[in-house]
């Protein structure tokens, strides 16, 4: 049972603004993944007793992977506009995202890098191009 009613409608927000919510109808079944609060190891060593010691950064990072359903060209333009409106630095593909963090069970906001995206044309239906499922990955700075 989902206690947060927003999760039934949204899992990600581009730009952390009211107009940036991506409706879940665009997200494929099993299409939302997050690897929250990843620890970055700064140093690791074993002492004379062979006990492991780890120094990790207090700044945790999250990766969000979003696979969308097949979509029309007009839907693709709408989603691209949402991402563009959330983009802080376009040459770096630096995007502000509000996302559901499954480790903390709460909404978090961060700055993310978006790697290259591949779009595969599926065909033409109803007078416009349609695309196969598209996967976006967002890696927190």
Give, rounded to a whole angstrom, the gap between the first and last alpha carbons of the chain. 32
Is 3 or 82 the better-scoring residue by pLDDT? 82
Give how far Cα 6 sits from Cα of 12, 17, 96, 106, 113, Å. Answer: 10, 14, 19, 11, 25
Number of domains in the chain: 1
Q: How confident is residue 57, by pLDDT bands cut at 50, 70 and 90? A: confident
- Backbone phi and psi for residue 5, each to the nearest 5 degrees, phi listed first: -65, -25
Q: Residue 75's domain spans which residues?
A: 5-140
Whole-prediction pTM: 0.86
CB 117 within 8 A of CB 79: no
SS (H, E, C) 15-43: CCCHHHEEEHHHEEEEEEEEEEEECCEEE
CATH of the domain at 91: 2.40.30
């Amino acid at each position: 049972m989902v206690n947060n009613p927003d999760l039934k409608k949204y899992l990600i927000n581009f730009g952390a603004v009211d107009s940036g919510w991506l409706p879940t109808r665009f997200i494929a079944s099993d299409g939302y993944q997050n690897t929250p609060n990843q620890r970055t190891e700064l140093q690791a060593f074993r002492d004379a007793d062979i006990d492991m010691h780890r120094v990790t950064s207090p700044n945790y990072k999250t990766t969000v992977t979003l696979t969308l359903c097949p979509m029309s060209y007009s839907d693709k333009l709408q989603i691209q506009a949402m991402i563009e409106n959330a983009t802080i630095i376009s040459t770096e593909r630096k995007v502000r995202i509000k996302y559901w963090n499954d480790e903390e069970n709460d909404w978090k906001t961060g700055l993310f890098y978006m790697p290259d995206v591949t779009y595969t044309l599926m065909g033409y239906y109803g007078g416009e191009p349609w695309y196969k499922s598209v996967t976006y990955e967002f890696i927190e700075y």
